[in-house]
Structure 1
Amino acid sequence: MLCTLLMGWMVTWLGRYMARYFKQLWQNQDGAVSVDWVVLTAMIVGLIAAAFSGVEGGVAALTTKLMEYLQNLTVGV
């Protein structure tokens, strides 16, 4: 009986403690700027990756043409 009462009290206390903890965590704005920077940085990296994937084929073709030009170039003759 005592064990049941003690467990019930602990569960009630833990529930109140956790509710208070999450309320304070929700109201705390200390880490909000860090989260903003992480999201902003992730968006920039995503845009750069999208831009590179869009021009990848053109860069490969340009590189091939440049290599052909340089291989056919005669120097010092």
Structure 2
Amino acid sequence: MEELTPDPEAFLELAEARMPFGKYKGRLLIDLPEPYVVWFKQKGFPAGKLGKQLETVYVIKANGLEHLFKRLR
């Protein structure tokens, strides 16, 4: 199994990333409603960086780790 190491730069970038389209355009990704992120999980995340960020948000929300972003607000 590959060891995962945190990437502080990616974490800070995710904390500031905003949804670029749709109903939640302009909202911080980490503040997207969980059902919306789950919908992306079921339908498939978009390609590229946004998709990776949304997938990370899904994992954070699914594991109740939103508190990690509170200090950054």
Q: What TM-score, normalized to structure 2?
A: 0.24
Bigger fraction of residues in helix: 1
Structure with bigger RCO (C-alpha 8 Å, 6+ apart): 2
Larger radius of gyration: 1
Q: What TM-score, normalized to structure 1?
A: 0.23
